Amino acid sequence: MNKVDINCDLGESYGVYRMESDEAILPLITSANIACGFHAGDPATMRQTVQQAMEHQVAIGAHPGLPDLQGFGRRRMDITPREAYDMVVYQIGALDAFVRSCGGHMHHVKPHGAMYNMAAEDDQLAEGIAEAIYKVQPELYLYGLAGSALIQAADRIGLRSVSEVFADRTYGVDGTLTPRNQPGAVIEQTGQALAQVLRMVKEGIVVSTKGTLVPIKAETICIHGDGAQALAFAQEIRSLLESEGVTLSAIGAAG
């Protein structure tokens, strides 16, 4: 591919707990997934992050998660597809109110953490999430794990999907992410992460933890804003892709 989106999970400060790199990362990315208050974020943070994203002309997306502040939305919960639907509708509505009040428009929705991973492998949960987005704003994009049930659900329901890959996560032989509670789930070496990104974008493949080559569709690359080296990592990924002649742009944007 010669064009790709770079997205980052932002607005995850809450009360006195602050993520300090958000505003510095915004000029380096093309779309932002903004927490909606369930796994992280609060009203003031949502408004501020929306305003900052608009200032930097970054596409704005809702980042709905499970109602688990203590676990940062990364612990699995036994929820029904209807509960997933309601949670996503609620959180899209909350962020959209801030976006509209600031004179902007929402671009996409990307589920967070455990909700994302559960829906990637559960057809019914994926359909509940896709239906929620479609019923609220059918023109929105759904960001989901490449090749997963989320992408398939969006396609079935008529929702536009965007296949996402991860810069700092390892993959299994079936194209799923290695669970965070397993050794080697997160790539700690910047060089390894950069090499993985370049291969996914330019060749459409990723090397699994077993050493096999797995086909993968890379339309948007996720970088995490909560890491200690998040800013430096974002700078290096952007620099690498630009040096390789890859155009960085939000999905659906001109250019």
pLDDT digits (tens, 9 = 90+) for 213-244: 999 999 999 987 666 577 888 899 999 999 99
State the sign of the Cα–Cα–Cα–Cα dihedral 9, 13, 19, 24.
positive
pLDDT at residue 86, rounded to an integer: 98
Mind listing the pLDDT tens digit for each residue in 125-155? 999 999 999 999 999 999 999 999 999 999 9
Whole-number average pLDDT of the chain: 93
Please say whether the beta carbons of 248 and 4 come within 8 A. yes
Instruction: Tell me the three-class secondary structure of 224-247, residue by residue.
Output: ECCCCCHHHHHHHHHHHHHHCCCE
Which pair of tokens denotes residue 120? 């990637």
Alpha-carbon distance values, 82 to 87, 121, 148 (Å): 9, 17, 20
The whole-angstrom separation of Cα 114 and Cα 183 is 18
pLDDT at residue 230, rounded to an integer: 78
217: left (phi over 0), alpha (psi -120 to 50) or beta: beta
pLDDT at residue 129, rounded to an integer: 98
The whole-angstrom separation of Cα 192 and Cα 39 is 29
Nearest-Å Rg of the Cα atoms of the chain is 17
CATH code linked to domain 3-248: 3.20.20.370
Give the chain's length. 255
123-128 contact pairs (CB < 8 A, 24+): 123/149, 123/152, 123/153, 124/81, 125/79, 125/81, 125/84, 125/149, 126/150, 126/152, 126/153, 127/81, 127/153, 127/156, 127/157, 128/80, 128/81, 128/82, 128/83, 128/84, 128/85, 128/88
- 160 has pLDDT over 80: yes
pLDDT at residue 19, rounded to an integer: 75
**Domain residue spans of the chain:** 3-248
Which pair of tokens denotes residue 93? 């509505």
Mind listing the pLDDT tens digit for each residue in 65-116? 999 999 999 999 999 999 999 999 999 999 999 999 999 999 999 999 999 9
Predicted TM-score of the model (pTM): 0.94
